[in-house]
Amino acid sequence: MTSPSRAGTPSQFSLAFWVLAPMLVVTLLGAFLPPDGNERADWLQFIGRFHPLVVHFPIALFLLVPILEIAGRRERFAYLRLSVNFVLGLATLGAATAAILGWCLARSGGYSGRLITQHMWGGVVLSIICWVCWMLRMRRRELGVAYAIALALGVGLVA
């Protein structure tokens, strides 16, 4: 049996794949039903209006991860690194939720154009990068460089 620091528990991996499902759904929705400027169902627009509220939560959490990783390198603050998996998991779940709500708003709120499309795909890509970072972080010992590259890519995308 591997130690918890070397690998995530099976429940973490099953949760991670359940979180991946909505990201794949929103990717397919964005590809096949992109924002076209038509107003649609009021309930979809109502749900989508929560996107601006939800979107800042995963961004803040994702930007907190490199701070926890860097500060946790010092022996004095090593305990900070214990929370990184949890913070990445919350950021990933929040990013998936924000992407779905963003699609609901963009699809039914009368939005269209290149800027909305770029914003939509940026959010989808960031949610997938969050998920990849979360998966790599659970296997950090084996894939440390890939994790660092994915985290830097995600922070760059947010910036």
Residue with tokens 């929370």: 83
Predicted local confidence at residue 71, as pLDDT: 93
Q: Convert the pLDDT of each residue in 32-50 to its tens digit.
A: 888 887 778 888 889 988 9
pLDDT band at 141 (very low <50, low <70, confident <90, very high): low
pTM (two decimals): 0.83
Q: Rounded to an integer, what is the distance from CA 77 to the centroid of its chain?
A: 26
Residue 109 β-bridge partners: 39
Q: Domain spans of the chain?
A: 11-16+40-158
- pLDDT bracket for residue 2 (50, 70, 90): very low
Per residue in 99-116, pLDDT (tens digit) is 999 988 888 877 778 888
